[in-house]
């Protein structure tokens, strides 16, 4: 492989980066991954050696392999019965920090009356759920710390149905490996079944005792305090259970897939 800067420059010049971000086809995905790989490895090796290198994919593929290995280590460290620390309600932040891969002007506006949560994969009952149906499920509240991969953290109060309860209601195959999420903003993510069944993993309707504001993921967000913030998808529109590794938006861009805290 030869260096790619000319291609990168061309893209930058025509300002197509945002379009690439939005491209959803397979070609777009392959291009993105190729760019990520070439970009990461080229830059890294250039930094290490101070010169251009011809074959660079080896470093990035080694880093990816180590990240996969670290996912397995993290799964071993994860104790499915260990509860994350909880805090007094007084410590919960009311004006919670907004974070997404886009600005607040692009927040999805979801019409609650027409909202449907779609289900697929290894699920016994695939009938979509409406919001009133979801709101009738038993609810719990938690005051836990949201830890962002960027390094900041914030304590908040979330309320919703324990995800385990929901998975049981839809007769999901609880021996399957993964639970995946699709969101109205194009975001997607997935978690391991052990973490999905953790008692503090909650399909969330409320933050600070109020129905989620649009910027916090209305109408549905996954709150999973055993994982980093980007594993807490907002604006969820579909949930699926599978044994095929589903990846995720940031995970496919190099972030740790397990992302346990």
Partner 1 sequence: MTDVVAEQLHRVSKVMVHPLTVRVTHWLNALAMFIMIMSGWRIYNSEPIFPFYFPVELTLGGSYDGSVDIHNEDGLAGALQWHFAGMWLLAINGIVYLAYGIFSGHFRRAFFPVGPAAVLRDTIAALRFRLPHRLGVYNAVQKTLYLGVLAAGMIMVLSGLAIWKPGQFQELTWLFGGFDVARVIHFLGMAAIVAFVVVHIALVIIVPKTLPAMITGRASAHEAHRED
Site string for partner 1, 229-248 (x = CB under 8 A): --------------------
Among 120, 152, 210, 245, binds partner 1 (CB under 8 A): 152
Nearer to partner 1, 35 or 135 (CB): 35
From the list 221, 250, 208, the residue with the least C-alpha distance to 108 is 221
String marking each residue 107-146 x if it binds partner 1 according to CB under 8 A: --------------------------------------x-
Interface mask (CB under 8 A) for partner 1, residues 187-226, using x and -?
Answer: --------------------------------------xx
Nearest residue to 149 (alpha-carbon basis) of 17, 47, 250, 48 = 250
- Shortest CB 54 distance to partner 1, Å: 16
* Listed ranges 33-41, 115-123, 160-168, 174-182: which one lies at the site for partner 1 (CB under 8 A): 33-41
What contacts 243, CB < 8 A, 6 or more positions away? Answer: 122, 176, 177, 178
Of the residues 12, 72, 94, 244, which one makes contact with partner 1 according to CB under 8 A: 12
> In this chain, which of 1, 2, 10, 17 binds partner 1, going by CB under 8 A?
17
3-class secondary-structure state, position 180? strand
Comparing CB distances to partner 1, the nearer of 228 and 239 is 228
Distance CA 217, CA 156 (A): 14
Nearer to partner 1, 27 or 113 (CB): 27
Two structure tokens written together for 47: 């930094």
Assess contact for 179 and 239: CB atoms under 8 A: yes
Q: Which residue has the tokens 């996912």?
A: 71
CB 149 within 8 A of CB 260: no
Specify whether the CB–CB gap between 116 and 236 falls below 8 A. no
Q: Tell me the residue length of the chain.
A: 261
Residue 122: CB minimum distance to partner 1, A:
28
Least distance in angstroms from the C-beta of 215 to partner 1: 18
Q: How far is the CB of 120 from partner 1 (least distance, A)?
A: 28
Q: How far apart are CA 56 and CA 45, in angstroms?
A: 7
- Provide the terminal-to-terminal Cα distance of the chain, rounded to the nearest Å: 37
Window 46-105: residues binding partner 1 (CB under 8 A): 47-48, 60, 62-64, 66-67, 70, 77-79, 82, 84-85, 101-102
- List the strands of the sheet with 188-192, edge to edge: 118-121, 236-242, 178-183, 188-192
Sign of the CA dihedral running 245, 250, 255, 257: negative
The span from the CA of 147 to the CA of 239, in Å, is 23
Which of residues 82 and 126 has its CB atom nearest to partner 1 in the complex?
A: 82
- Residues engaged in binding partner 1 (CB under 8 A): 8, 11-12, 17-18, 20-21, 32, 35-36, 39-44, 47-48, 60, 62-64, 66-67, 70, 77-79, 82, 84-85, 101-102, 145, 147-153, 225-226, 250, 253-256, 260-261
């Amino acid at each position: 492989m030869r260096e790619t800067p000319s291609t990168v420059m061309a893209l930058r010049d025509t300002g197509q980066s945002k379009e690439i971000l939005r491209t959803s086809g397979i070609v777009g995905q392959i291009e993105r991954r190729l760019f990520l790989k070439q970009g990461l490895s080229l830059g890294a090796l250039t930094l290490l050696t101070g010169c251009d290198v011809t074959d660079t994919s080896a470093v990035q593929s080694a880093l990816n392999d180590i990240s996969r290995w670290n996912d397995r280590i993290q799964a071993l460290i994860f104790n499915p019965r260990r509860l994350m620390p909880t805090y007094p309600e007084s410590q919960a932040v009311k004006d919670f920090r907004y974070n997404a891969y886009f600005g607040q002007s692009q927040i999805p506006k979801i019409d609650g009356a027409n909202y449907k949560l779609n289900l697929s994969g290894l699920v016994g009952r695939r009938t979509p759920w409406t919001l009133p149906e979801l709101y009738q499920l038993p609810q719990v509240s938690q005051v836990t710390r949201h830890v962002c991969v960027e390094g900041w953290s914030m304590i908040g109060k979330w309320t919703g149905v324990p995800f385990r309860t929901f998975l049981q209601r839809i007769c999901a195959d609880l021996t399957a490996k993964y639970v995946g999420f699709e969101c109205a903003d194009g975001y997607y993510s997935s978690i391991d079944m052990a973490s999905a069944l953790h008692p503090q993993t909650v399909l969330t309707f409320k933050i600070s005792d109020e129905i989620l504001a649009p910027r916090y993921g209305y109408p549905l967000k996954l709150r999973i305090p055993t994982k980093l913030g980007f594993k807490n998808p907002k604006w969820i529109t579909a949930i699926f259970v599978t044994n095929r590794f589903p990846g995720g938006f940031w995970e496919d861009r190099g972030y740790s897939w397990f992302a346990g805290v």
